[in-house]
Structure formats: structure tokens, C-alpha cells
Amino acid sequence: MTDSTTNKALQAMRSEVISNGYASGTNCYVASAKGAIIKDVEGKEYIDFAGGIAVMNIGHSHPKVVAAIKTQAEKFTHTCFMVNPYASPVRLAERLCDITPGDFAKKVLFINSGAEAVENAVKIARYYTKRPAIIVFENGYHGRTLLTMTMTSRVKPYKLGFGPFAPEVYRMPFGDVAGPEKLEDFFIKHVNPEAVAAVVAEPVQGEGGFIAPPDGYFQKLVEICRKHGILFISDEIQTGMGRTGKMFAIEHWRVEPDLIIVAKSLAAGMPLSAVVGRREIMDAIHPGGLGGTYGANPVACEAALAVLDIFEEENMLEKSVALGEKLQARFKAWQQKYDIIGEIRGLGAMLGLELVKGPERSPAPEEAKALSAVCFENGLSILVCGSYGNIIRILAPFVITDEQLNKGLDIMENGIKKISS
């Protein structure tokens, strides 16, 4: 029997039984988590600025979510919605249709993960348009399945050695690197617009480095899509559920996607994702063409319903906005003090710090890695992302207290001083 009381013992057993490919950022094993605090099996506490990669927007183990999970689990945990349906997915779908952008009739498909949702959104777009091609963006991330890995921009670790990749996926520059009008040029050089089913974009690129486009970008992009009968799919897996100060990030640009993909913080850690789209698009699929054994799991759906209640009852969007403002203020002060700080990226409470070095201000991935390690040693969990591995990304729960936030930022600043010396 494995000794589960020490990190060292668990790590030793892990090395024997868990695939090397399934890596973790640290060797500390979680025993419990509450709000914005994680405690490991040895009792050490960590302030969580990672949020399970944008899954814990409302915080760990929120009592209303825990209660919803317990109540449903005592009734039943699975019948398969495709065999014996039940009420919670219907109620959840109704609410998602109400809160997603777009003043038009919508319908919903529930699956389990972000990558599954992207896969199904592409299937739906191809079926509806009768077109094969998909356009995605440089620095984008959409998952690790064969199709979503193909759609993802970064080679290592996500694509290295896993080819051949899926066909009919085309990639163009994103944001201020190239204006949306470049899409028309793209149609001349790379793919006929009449063959394109959809353009898939993260409103703010997450894994690629918290890259937000300039104002007006998405409005123009969607205008071009409409001109050519191309669907616009907003991948809100990381940006959604209030992370940027709006329920969905695309709302910042007053754009109404044809399909919107939701996951991560939707069910506060329970495996649930959704594709929400225009009714005529979602209803084009023949019965049985969409589905999955675990999709719309009753426990996960009840958790998501509790999450939506929490957003309404506990002012989560206001908390997100306030958190983003506090982070921005501190980051701007650091930008003036420390040469290693480059751009401040992102939107709302989805913020990243670019680390740079030398007179050329080139990416500093080793320094980012060192900062992450120093922070963790001192009780703060942070994430590194970006195509060059030099962006420190912050995805802290909205319920983090000022005391916890300031302590975490102090740990970060001390770490910045250390790696800068």
C-alpha cells in the first residue's frame, strides 16, 4: 500500500504507475483546497494563482457546489442522457442559451471536456455548411485530441511526434500581428473561402501567451466571415465564465458568435463542456449524430447550475473586474521598477506578465521557469505559458481575499527581485 502522507512517497509511486507523458508542474500532492488556498498532504499551504488552469473561477470547494454534488450523487450518478434523460441538462441548457451572447434562438450540446467541445463544434460547422476547411490562428490552443492538436499552434509539447495531423486546418496570424482584413488575402493564397466551414478563435489567446486583439478586430473578422457564409466559433474554454470581467470575453467586442464553446469553470472542476449555437445550426444534425456516454452527466450539470447561481447571488463578475484592476495596478508598478518585465497582457482578471532579457528584450523562458519555482517554494502556485515559455499567467479565483492576493503578489515580487539580481 502506497504511503500517501508524504509528497516524496507519492512521487516515487507515481513514477512507477503514471505515464511520463502525463506530467505535473510540481511534486507536491494536494490533500484539500478551499477558496484560493491549496493544502498538500504534508500540510503546507499554497495561495492559488493558477486556478486549475482557469477552472476554479468561483474558488475551490464552494459550499453551494459541494452541496449540489452531494445531493445529486445520493440520487443517481449516471443513466446516460441518450438512454434515460433527466432534468438538469435541460435546465442548464435553458440558462446557457439566456446568458451567451446573441439575441436569437439557441440550442446546446453537452460533452465532457474543452477538446471534445471544440471537436463537436467543428463537426457541427462542417455538417451545417457542407464545407471541410477550418481556419485557426497562430499561437492558438484548442486541445490535445487529433483534430484539436492539429488546430493548436505550439509544437512542443503538444504536437511533437504525434503526426500525421488532421487535414483541412489552416492557420493565419492573430491580432495586431495582422489585421482581420488579411483574411481576404488568406483566401487568395491558402484556401478558397467557399471551402471554409468556420473560423475558430479564442477571444484572448490563453496558452499562446494571453494575447488580446486590438479593438475592432473581431467585428471586422466576423463581418468577413458573414460575407463568405463562414461560421464564427468563439472558443471560450479559458476566457469564459467571467474570467475577463464579462461572462464571455467576446462580449467586450459586441460580437455574436454562431457557436460558442464553454468548459473549464462551467462546473467548477466537474468534467463538463458545452457547445451553444444558433438553433438552425444545432438542429441541422440528424438524431444520433451528436452525443457521448458521459455527456450531460447529472452530477456535473447540477454543479454547473450551482455555479450559475453563485455568479448571480455573489456578484462574481464584479469580483472579477475588481481582481483585474488590482492585478493591473501592481503589474504596472512592477513594469516601471524591473527591467525583466516586458508587456502586461490579457484582459480583466486574465492577466500575464511577459519576462524579457537583454537589450533586444528577447523572451526569458528560463527566468520564467525560475520565478515559478521560487514562488512555489514560498507558497504560491503560478503558471507559465506562451509560445516561448516566458509569460507568467494569473488565473486566481475571484473569491481570493485581499490578504491572500497581496501576500501572493509580495511572493511574486520577491521572486522577480531574486531572478533579476
Query: In the chain, what are the domain boundaries?
Result: 7-58+315-420, 65-313
Q: Which amino acid appears at position 296 of this protein? A: A
| Cα distance between residue 333 and residue 317, in whole Å | 25
Q: Is the pLDDT at 129 greater than 80, yes or no? A: yes
Q: Is the pLDDT at 238 greater than 80, yes or no? A: yes
Report whether 306 contacts 298 (CB < 8 A).
no
338-367: pLDDT as tens digits:
999 999 999 999 999 999 999 999 999 999
Using DSSP, state whether 135 is helix, strand or coil.
strand
| Cα distance between residue 348 and residue 61, in whole Å | 23
303-319: pLDDT as tens digits:
999 999 999 999 999 99
Kindly list the distances between the CA atom of residue 64 and the CA atoms of 151, 170, 302, in Å, as whole numbers in the listed order: 36, 43, 10
* Percentage of residues of the chain with pLDDT beyond 90: 93
Closest alpha carbon to 390 in 359, 356, 361: 356
Report whether 53 contacts 395 (CB < 8 A).
yes
Using DSSP, state whether 31 is helix, strand or coil.
strand
Kindly list the distances between the CA atom of residue 376 and the CA atoms of 163, 371, 419, in Å, as whole numbers in the listed order: 35, 9, 14
pLDDT confidence tier of residue 1, bands split at 50, 70 and 90: low
From the candidate CATH numbers 3.40.50.300, 3.90.1010.10, 3.40.50.720, 3.90.1150.10, the one assigned to the domain spanning 7-58+315-420: 3.90.1150.10
pLDDT confidence tier of residue 156, bands split at 50, 70 and 90: confident
For residue 268, give the C-alpha cell: 467548477
3-state helix, strand, coil in the chain (%, to 5): 40, 20, 40
pLDDT confidence tier of residue 182, bands split at 50, 70 and 90: confident
Give the per-residue pLDDT at 2: 64
Kindly list the distances between the CA atom of residue 336 and the CA atoms of 89, 326, 341, 356, in Å, as whole numbers in the listed order: 49, 16, 8, 14
Query: Can you tell me the mean pLDDT for 227-253?
Result: 98
Do 7-58+315-420 and 65-313 fold alike per CATH? no
Report whether 220 contacts 229 (CB < 8 A).
no
317-331: pLDDT as tens digits:
999 999 999 999 999
Report whether 141 contacts 207 (CB < 8 A).
yes
Query: Can you tell me the mean pLDDT for 280-298?
Result: 97
Q: Is the pLDDT at 405 greater than 70, yes or no? A: yes
From the candidate CATH numbers 3.40.640.10, 2.40.30.110, 3.90.400.10, 3.40.50.11540, the one assigned to the domain spanning 65-313: 3.40.640.10
DSSP string, 143-161: -SSHHHHHH----TTTTTT
Q: Is 170 exposed, middle or buried (0-12, 13-18, 19+ CB in 10 A)?
A: middle
pLDDT confidence tier of residue 19, bands split at 50, 70 and 90: very high
Q: 346: which residues sit within 8 A by CB, 6+ positions away?
A: 204, 210, 212, 244, 352, 393
Q: 123: which residues sit within 8 A by CB, 6+ positions away?
A: 289, 290
Give the per-residue pLDDT at 127: 98
Give the per-residue pLDDT at 181: 80
Give the per-residue pLDDT at 179: 75
pLDDT confidence tier of residue 180, bands split at 50, 70 and 90: confident
For residue 333, give the C-alpha cell: 508598478
Cβ count within 10 A of residue 195: 14
Give the per-residue pLDDT at 178: 67
pTM (2 d.p.): 0.96
Mean pLDDT, all residues of the chain: 96
With vertex at residue 72, the alpha carbon angle to CA 70 and CA 78, rounded to the nearest 5 degrees, is 120
Give the per-residue pLDDT at 174: 92
With vertex at residue 344, the alpha carbon angle to CA 385 and CA 308, rounded to the nearest 5 degrees, is 70
